[in-house]
Structure 1
Amino acid sequence: MKSIYDEIVPVAPVTVLGIGNIILRDEGFGVRAMEYLEEHYSFPQEVRLLDGGTLGPELLHFVTGTEKLLILDAVAGDAAPGTVYRFENDAVMAHFQEKMSSHEIGIQDVLAWLTVTGRSIPNVVVLGMQPYELTAGLTLSPEMAAALPSFAHRAVEELVRFGVIPKERSVPRRQTA
């Protein structure tokens, strides 16, 4: 049986989900990285790019049924700012046990619910970067902003591992807001 969400946002086999709080500078890195990908690359129809922001359990409607999920996020670890982290499959849940923010609690709950109900996503990768600044502000720190192109390249490499070949745009598509 289809839900209302199937009509609004059909399930895509591959989902790129940018998460984070964009009003706390680098905490919004995952959303900004997803926007960068959307602006600089075109994707096959089977790929959906989503701004998950700080949504929690509400994301369940948008990721249920996807087969490959790439989550882009700011990741607080013990390493220096700018360090790139990568977690895959079982390590993803271990990462979300160390909750940095409320949106990560929501992602953990969504992934756990999908597993318990027999709808787990077969391939999940979290790609993140250690933030420099978590103060109030709508822009990334200069260091995080400068890291976006190389981070996006890493995200594209993950998508290639998923069997998706994004095409770099010759002229970036500007975001409309």
Structure 2
Amino acid sequence: MEILVLGIGNLVMSDDGIGVRVVQSLAEHYRFPEQVTVLDGGTLGLDLLPQIGEARRLVIVDAVDTGEPPGTLVRLTGEEIPLALETKLSPHQMGLKDLLTVASLLGQAPQETVLLGVQPQSVEMALELTPPVQAQLAPLVVRVLDELSAWGVRPEPASAFLHNLNT
């Protein structure tokens, strides 16, 4: 696989589920070329190693504690990513840090990795995102699309895809 868009998080821990919600929105509203995989990684951690190992480029979407006000968007690349995961929000983040470390040690790290995230307000047990994080759902989707566009990928809106199937 050329490009992996990976949403990470736990949907029952309020803002921690933002990464999963972003990839769900992408999968619902867009059709991607064959070289792009959009994956709900949930809290799988090291179980995602095969998918990471196959990707040349990786976009991770997750809640990231930057110490900024809730809802603040962040874009990290390269060595910035492991440093951002030092402050663990939930158990899956240790898995993500471990996953990226193991992929690197095995020589399976993608050539390029981008972490798009948002500062959570709450990671307590709840099914809904808090208002400041909910407000960033659409902007995060756009940021993922911008990253893909910079890599030469332009997904087709699902409505256009369905229209083309019917004609």
Structure 2: stretches of 5+ with no match in the other structure: 163-167
Structure 1: stretches of 5+ with no match in the other structure: 1-11
- Over the aligned positions, Cα root-mean-square deviation in angstroms equals 1.8
How far apart, CA to CA, are the structure 1 residues paired with 2:122 and 2:99? 27
TM-score by length of 1: 0.84
Is the 8 Å Cα contact of residues 26 and 74 (structure 1) preserved in structure 2? yes
Identity of aligned residues (%): 37
Is the 8 Å Cα contact of residues 52 and 109 (structure 2) preserved in structure 1? no
- 1:166 alignment partner in structure 2: 155
- 2:14 alignment partner in structure 1: 25
Is the 8 Å Cα contact of residues 52 and 108 (structure 2) preserved in structure 1? no
Is the 8 Å Cα contact of residues 17 and 49 (structure 1) preserved in structure 2? yes
AA partner of residue 22 (structure 1) = L
AA partner of residue 38 (structure 2) = L
- 1:35 alignment partner in structure 2: 24
- 1:6 alignment partner in structure 2: none
How far apart, CA to CA, are the structure 2 residues paired with 1:42 and 1:146? 24
Task: Indicate how the Cα distance of structure 1 residues 50 and 78 shifts in structure 2: closer, same or farther if over 3 A, else same.
Answer: same
TM-score by length of 2: 0.89
How big is each residue's C-alpha offset from its partner over 1:80-127, in whole Å with a ceiling of 9 and x where there is no partner? 111001111221122223322221111111111121122221100000
How far apart, CA to CA, are the structure 1 residues paired with 2:123 and 2:106? 35
Is the 8 Å Cα contact of residues 40 and 171 (structure 1) preserved in structure 2? no
How big is each residue's C-alpha offset from its partner over 1:25-64, in whole Å with a ceiling of 9 and x where there is no partner? 1110000011111111111111111111111111112211
Is the 8 Å Cα contact of residues 69 and 121 (structure 1) preserved in structure 2? yes
How far apart, CA to CA, are the structure 2 residues paired with 1:26 and 1:149? 14
Is the 8 Å Cα contact of residues 27 and 131 (structure 1) preserved in structure 2? yes
How far apart, CA to CA, are the structure 2 residues paired with 1:77 and 1:172? 38
How far apart, CA to CA, are the structure 1 residues paired with 2:143 and 2:161? 18
Where in structure 2 are the equivalents of 1:1-177 lying within 5 Å?
12-170=1-159
How far apart, CA to CA, are the structure 2 residues paired with 1:102 and 1:117? 23
1:153 CA drift (Å)? 0.6
